[in-house]
Amino acid sequence: MDGFNRQRFAAMLVKETLQIVRDPSTFLIAFLLPLLLLFLFGYGVSLDVTRVKIGLVVEDRSAPALSLATSFRQSRWFEPHEAHSVADVKPALVSGAVRGIVVIPQDFGRKMASGRGAAIQIITDGSLPNTANFVAAYAEGVRASWEEGQLRERGHATDPPIQIATRFWFNPELASRFFLVPGAIAIVMTMIGTLLTALVIAREWERGTMEAIMATPIGMGEFLATKVIPYFLLGLGSMTVCTLIAIFAFGVPFRGSPLALLIIASAFLVPALGQGLLISAATKNQFVASQVALLTAFLPAMLLSGFLFEIPSMPTPVQALTYIVPARYLIPPLQTVFVAGDLWGLFLPDILIMLGFGAVFFALAFRATRRRIA
Amino acid sequence: MVDTVASARGVTKRFAKPATTALDAVDIDIVAGRMTGLVGPDGAGKTTLIRLLAGLLDPDEGEVEALGRPATATDRSLIGYMPQRFGLYEDLSVIENLSLYADLRGLAADERDARFARLLDFTDLDRFRTRLAGKLSGGMKQKLGLACALVRTPRLLLLDEPGVGVDPVSRRELWAMVRELSSEGIGVLWSTAYLDEAEKCDSVFLLNEGRLIHAGPPGALTETMAGRTFRLFGADEDRRARLERLLDRDDVTDGTIQGASLRLVVKPGAPPPEVPGLTTEPATPRFEDAFVDRLGGGPGGTSRLAESYRPIPPGDAPAIEAVGLTKRFGDFTAASDIHFSIPRGQIFGLLGPNGAGKSTTFKMLCGLLTPSAGNGRVAGHDLRTARADARQSLGYMAQKFSLYGDLSVRQNLDFFSGVYGLTGAARREAIERSIDIFHLADYVNSNSGGMPLGFKQRLALACAVMHQPPVLFLDEPTSGVDPIVRREFWTHINGLVERGVTVLVTTHFMDEAEYCDRIALIYRAEEIAVGTPDELKAQAGLDDPTLEDAFIALIEASDRAREAA
C-alpha cells in the first residue's frame, strides 16, 4: 500500500548498519565465530586415520612370520606394539591404548611352506566400528601385499589376472580437511543468515520499537528488505574471510572461480535469510527465536547436510529428511568449487533448489509480518 | 469550524487470549487544535483505542478514521505516535534516532536542520545530541520519544501514557510542550493515569472496562461534584485511624489524607460530614473526585490485609535509620550523605526527579547495594554486619514487576512464601489469604506476566507482605496504576502502619506523598529538604502551594543555589 521510497529505505539501511556495527555480539558471531569454527574443523576434527596403534603378537619364529611382522612394522598405517601373547596385550585393547591386535599364529611358517595358504588373526575393537573396519581392512591389506611380494620373489605367479588400481581424484590424499573447511563455511553462513536475522526482528518487537516503526509510512516489504540486505552483505563478508583462511591457512585448494563461489553462497543466503526472517516474525521473542533457529537451521546444517556425515550412509527416513534442509544443496557445490572446479551442470540444480526454498521462506515471512500489533 | 482529525464510531475490539472485550462500542473524536484526554483505570482499553487510531489494529466492529481515511490505510507521515515504550533505538544516538524518524516520515532535507534545531531546543536535548538513547534518563527518553513523534509536524498526535514513571518536573515540561503544539493546530490525544493532567485537557474521554462512561470537557464532570467535597482539619496524629473509620461510613464515598488534614467526598445530597474534634470546611471539587465517583467510589477504609496482620511490638529504637549513606559508582556519586531516621509505625517518603538517587538509597537500605560510606539500620539490624537479618525483616516491592511472569499467581505466591520460610498450614493459609484480600481469584491459574498492571502490582504487594515483616520498602508501588487501585493500596498501607509497620516509599504521585508522615526530597544525589508535607510546603515560600508546586519550587531553589556557588 505504501510505495517504495528511497529516503525511508536508505534511512533504515543506515540504522540497521549502525546497529550491527555497534553491537559487539554481531561482530563476534560474524567474524570471530567463523574463525573458531574453521580452526576447530581444520585442526581439531579430522576424519583421517593415520598410524593406528595395534598390538602385534608373533607366536611363530619362522622366517616368513618374521618377514610378515617386519611388513607390519614398516607399514605407514600402523604403529605396532609387540607382545608375546594375546593375554599380554589384551588389557591395552580394553583400555583403548591399542585399537586392534594382529596375531601371527604358531603354525604360520609351516602352512606357508606347505603351500596351503596361511591365516593370521585380526582382533579389533568393535565399540569403534569405523576404526575396527579400518584396522581389519588395512591389516588384511598388509598381509596381502606381503604375500604377493613373497610369491613374486619365488618366481611363482606373476601378476594376478585383474588388478585394481585405485586413484583418488581431486583429493588424492583423502584429507578430510578439504571437505570440512568448505563445510564450515556453510555452517557460518547458516549462523549469520538464520540465527542473526532471526534475532533482529524479534528484538524490535521485544524493545517496543516495532510499534513505533509500524506507525510510520514505511511499507512492510521495505522493512523486511532493510533487514535482509545488511545481513546478506555480512554473510558474504564472513564467507570471504573464511575462504581466504581456508586457502591460505589450511592450504585447501581452490580450483573453481570466485564468481562461482559468490553465486553459490548468495543462492544459499536467500533461504537462510528467509528462514531467519520467518522465525523472528513468527516468534517475536529473541530467546524463542534463537532456540528455533538453532534447532531448525543450525543443527540440520551441521548433521543433515552431508557436511559431517555422509548422506548415503544415513538410515532411509533420515535421508528423506535431508531433502528439506537447504544446506544439503550447498555442501556439494561448495566442496566442488573448492576441490574440483566450476561444474555448472552440477551447480545449477542445487542453486535453483536453494532459490526455491528461499522464495517459500520469504513468502511466508512476508505473510507473517503484518502491520498489526496483535 | 470543528476540524475532526480522527474519530472512532461504535468501535468494538475483542481479544482471544485471554478472551476479553477490550473496547465495547466506543465513540471518540479528536479535534485539531485541542488537547483530548483519554483516561481510565488500568486495563480499561486506552492502549487498544490508541493502537486502533494509529492503524495498528483492525476493529472487530465499527469504523476508525484518521485524517479522513480508514486508520489502517491513512497517510502515516502525518501521524505522530508515541507508544508507551517510546520506540527509541537505544543503540542509536539522539540525533540518529531523530534522523531515522525524519526519513521514515519523509521530512524534506531542506527543512531538516531548522526542524531538528527547534525540537532539540524545545526538548532541551541539544547538549546530548551524540549521546546514545539508552544512556538517557527516563524523562529525557520521554522527551526524545516525543521529538521523534513530532519530527514532521503531524496533524494528529497520539501519546500513550507519556507521563508514566516521569517525575513532576519532567511531566510539567512535557505537558507544556504538547500544549504549545496543540495551539498550533495539531489534534492531540493524551492518554494518562494522572488525573491532574486530564483536568487540564480541553475534552476528556473516560473509559472503564472498555466502555465510554464520559465524554466532554473535564469541568462538566467535575461540576457534578459541587457541594460534595470537604476538608477536615485537626486530626493530626490519628488521621489514619480517623480516615479508616470515616471511609467505612455510608455517607462517605471517597477520602484521602492531605498532609495533616483529611479530604472527603460524600454521597450526593449528604450533609457536610461532622466529626467531633475536627473542623469541616468545603473544598473545591477536583476531576479525580468525579473520576472515582463515576467508577463507583473508592474502597472502604478497612484493610483486610491489616486486620490479618500480626501487631508489630512497640519499641523505642527507630525502625529504619540512614546515617550518612553514600554510594559512588566510579567518579559518579549516586547518593551523597543521606541522613534520616524513621520511628516505628510511620510512613516516610523519598521524593525526587528521575535519576536523583532515590532508588540507590533504597537499594542500600534493602541490602542490595553496599554503601561506599555511611551505614544504615533496618529493624535494629546493622546493614554492614547483619545484612541477611535486615533483609529477613523487610518486605520489598521493586519498581519494575519483578515476579516470575511465566508462573501463575498461585505459583508465585507459593514460591515467595517458601522463600520467606513459611511452611505447612501457615503457608497454605497465607496463600489463600493473599488471593482473597487482593482479589486475585480470577487470575489464580493464569501467568502473572499477562495480567493488567493493577493486578501485577497487587500480586507484588501480596508477595512482599506474606511473611508479615515489621518494615516495608515500596519503590513506586503505584506507578501507572489507576486511582481506584491506588486508593486500595493506600488503605492497606495505612492499615499496616496502624498495626505498627514502618513504611519507606518512593512515588511520583504528589497526592500520595501527602500520606507520608515525613518526606525527604532527593535531588542530584543530595537530600535537599526533609520534613512533613506541610513543612515542605511552607519551606517552598509560596502562597498555599500544592505539594507538587513545593516540590518544583524546592528543586528550582536548589538549582539557583548551585549556580550561585
pLDDT digits (tens, 9 = 90+) for A69-99: 888 888 877 888 888 888 888 888 888 888 8
Residue B421 has phi, psi (to 5 degrees) of 85, 15
Contacts of B100 in chain A (CB under 8 A): 11-12, 14-15
Tens of pLDDT, residue by residue, chain B (565 residues):
578 899 999 999 988 766 678 888 999 999 999 999 999 877 788 889 999 999 998 999 999 999 888 888 888 888 999 988 788 998 999 999 999 999 998 888 888 898 899 888 877 888 888 889 888 877 788 889 988 988 888 999 999 988 776 777 878 888 888 898 888 889 999 998 788 888 889 999 998 888 998 899 999 989 989 899 999 988 877 888 888 888 888 888 999 988 888 999 999 888 888 888 888 999 999 888 998 898 888 888 888 888 888 888 888 888 999 999 999 988 888 899 999 999 999 999 999 887 788 888 988 988 888 899 999 899 888 888 888 888 888 899 987 777 888 899 999 999 999 988 889 999 999 999 999 999 898 888 888 887 877 888 899 999 999 989 999 999 888 877 788 888 999 999 999 999 999 999 998 888 889 999 999 999 888 999 999 998 999 988 877 788 888 888 898 888 888 888 7
Contacts of A213 in chain B (CB under 8 A): 87, 104
- Residue A270 burial by CB count (10 A; 0-12/13-18/19+): exposed, middle or buried? buried
Task: Tell me, yes or no, if B73 comes closer than 8 A to chain A by beta carbon.
Answer: yes
Q: Is B87 in the A-facing interface, judged by CB distances under 8 Å?
A: yes
Residue contact B103–A7, C-beta within 8 A: yes
Q: Say whether pTM exceeds 0.90.
A: no
- pLDDT at position A175: 56
Q: Which of B81, B90, B104 sits opposite A8 (nearest CB)?
A: B104
Q: Residue B183 and residue A146: Cα distance in Å, rounded? A: 103
**Which residues 138-177 on chain B approach chain A with CB closer than 8 angstroms?**
148
Residue B13 near chain A (CB below 8 Å): no
The mean per-residue pLDDT over the stretch A179-206 comes to 84
Query: B463: which 3 cell numbers?
Result: 508477595
**Is B136:B170 a contact under the CB 8 Å cutoff?**
no
- Average of pLDDT values for A274-296? 90
Please give the Cα distance from B10 to B28 (Å, whole number): 9
Query: Do the Cβ atoms of A325 and A304 come closer than 8 Å?
Result: yes
User: What distance in Å separates residue B422's CA from the closest CA in chain A?
Assistant: 34
CB contact under 8 A, A11 and B103: yes
CA A81 to chain centre: 34
Q: Does the beta-carbon distance from B89 to A22 stay under 8 Å?
A: no
Tell me if A217 and B77 make a contact (CB, 8 A cut-off): yes
**Given a cut of 50, is residue A1 above it in pLDDT?**
no
**CA of A181: how far to CAs of A30, A40, A253, in Å?**
16, 9, 11
Partner B contacted by A140 (CB < 8 A): no
Q: Comparing C-alpha atoms, which of A268, A291, A284, A274 is closest to residue A224? A: A274
CATH 3.40.1710.10 residue window(s) in chain A: 52-153
Q: How many residues does chain A have?
A: 374
User: Is any Cβ of chain A less than 8 angstroms from the Cβ of B442?
Assistant: no
Mean pLDDT for all residues in chain A: 83
Could you say which of B56, B76, B96 has the minimum Cβ distance to residue A373?
Answer: B56
Judged by CB atoms closer than 8 Å, whether chains meet at A373 and B86 is answered as no
Residue B367 corresponds to which amino acid?
G
A370 touches chain B (CB under 8 A): no
Q: What is the phi-psi region of residue B494: left when phi exceeds 0, alpha when psi lies from -120 to 50, beta otherwise?
A: alpha
Say if residues B383 and B364 touch (Cβ distance below 8 Å).
Answer: yes
Question: Which cell is A23 given?
Answer: 553491537
**Cβ pair B56:A372 closer than 8 A:** yes
Q: Looking at CA atoms only, how far is residue B22 from chain A in angstroms?
A: 13
Is B104 close to A216, i.e. CB distance below 8 A? yes
CA dihedral (A104, A106, A107, A109) positive or negative: positive
Facing residue for B106 by CB, picked from A7, A14, A207: A7
Contact list in B for residue A215 (CB cut-off 8 A) is 54-56, 76, 79, 81, 83, 87
Interface contact B104-A209, CB threshold 8 A: no
Give residue for cell 515471512: A365
From chain B, the residues in CB contact with A14 under 8 A are: 100
Half-sphere exposure of A39 (CA within 13 A, CB side): 5
Task: Indicate yes or no: CB of B56 within 8 angstroms of CB of A212.
Answer: no
DSSP structure string for A66-83:
HHHHHHHHH-SSEEEEEE
Minimum distance, in Å, between the CA of residue B54 and any CA atom of chain A: 6
pLDDT-wise least confident of A40-54, A302-316, B78-92, B435-449 = A40-54
- Say yes or no for a CB contact (<8 Å) between B55 and A371: yes
In order of their start, the domains of chain B are 4-222 (3.40.50.300), 226-300 (3.30.70), 307-393+473-564 (3.40.50.300), 404-468 (no CATH)
User: Is residue A6 classed exposed, middle or buried when 0-12, 13-18 and 19+ CB atoms within 10 A define those classes?
Assistant: exposed
In chain A, % of residues over pLDDT 70: 89
Residue B206: in which H helix or E strand, if any? Answer: strand B203-208
Distance from C-alpha of B181 to C-alpha of A226, rounded to nearest angstrom: 33
CA distance B329 to chain A (A): 24
Confirm or reject contact between A10 and chain B (CB < 8 A). Answer: yes
Closest Cα in chain A, distance from residue B402 (Å): 17
Which residues, 6 or more positions from B248, have their beta carbon under 8 angstroms from its beta carbon?
B300, B301, B302
A18 interface with B at CB cutoff 8 Å: yes
B474: β partners: B397, B505
Grid coordinates representing A223 are 522493512
Q: What is the CATH number of domain A52-153?
A: 3.40.1710.10
Would you put residue A141 in left (φ > 0), alpha (ψ -120 to 50) or beta? Answer: alpha
Name the residue facing B79 among A2, A14, A215 (closest C-beta): A215
